[in-house]
Amino acid sequence: MRFHLIAGGFFAATLLCQGIVQAQQPNPLDNVPEQMPFNIPYGPPISIEEAKQAIAAAEAEGKKRGWPINIAVVDSGANLVAFERMDGAQLASIEIAEHKARAAARSRRETKIFESAIQNGMNYIMTLDGIIGSRGGIPLIKDGKVIGAIGCSGATGSQDEVVCKAGAVVVNK
């Protein structure tokens, strides 16, 4: 009985000490950077011709690899400009491709950044409207301004990203 009391007290003291150590560590979110990250200005909306070129390049990459993907391109206001569902692409991924493109355009950053943040314990990201924690959404930048974004979905996140980058490189020269 005495052993259980001592062990229980030791366990409680250990938990208390861990809580104190954790409380003393600085919160990385309290860091105030000098420059605002991802402060890329919004530009005019992507043209339908550019959107089609990005989709064609993404589709070619998907076909080359045998990955049927859904591909969405939105403009700088995150409005759908063009969409393609490759033959056999997963139906559930139609909305996901669009969501990835919208999140990338609105936030002016790749959606992979949100995925990484969640994996690194910054779960508050999931509380932000319009965010998707999955790679495969890339802003489209022309003349230093966001003109839209491309989103791909239907395979694994890393496969979506490969196809998406093939489409983005056509615009992001």
- The topology (CATH level 3) of 48-171 is Beta-Lactamase (3.30.450)
Q: Encoding tokens for residue 101? A: 């493109």
SS3 93: helix
In DSSP terms, which residues pair with 138 in a beta bridge?
A: 150
- Report the distance separating Cα 73 and Cα 138, nearest Å: 10
Half-sphere exposure of 13 (CA within 13 A, CB side): 6
Task: Pinpoint the alpha helices (H) of the chain.
Answer: 2-24, 48-65, 93-107, 112-119, 157-171
Domain parsing of the chain, residue ranges:
48-171
* Contact assessment for residue 32 and residue 148, using Cβ atoms and an 8 Å cutoff: no
Residue by residue, pLDDT tens for the chain (173 residues) are 555 545 555 555 565 556 555 557 777 667 887 888 888 999 999 999 999 999 999 999 999 999 999 999 999 999 999 999 999 999 999 999 999 999 999 999 999 999 999 999 898 888 899 999 999 999 999 999 999 999 999 999 999 999 999 999 999 98
SS3 155: coil
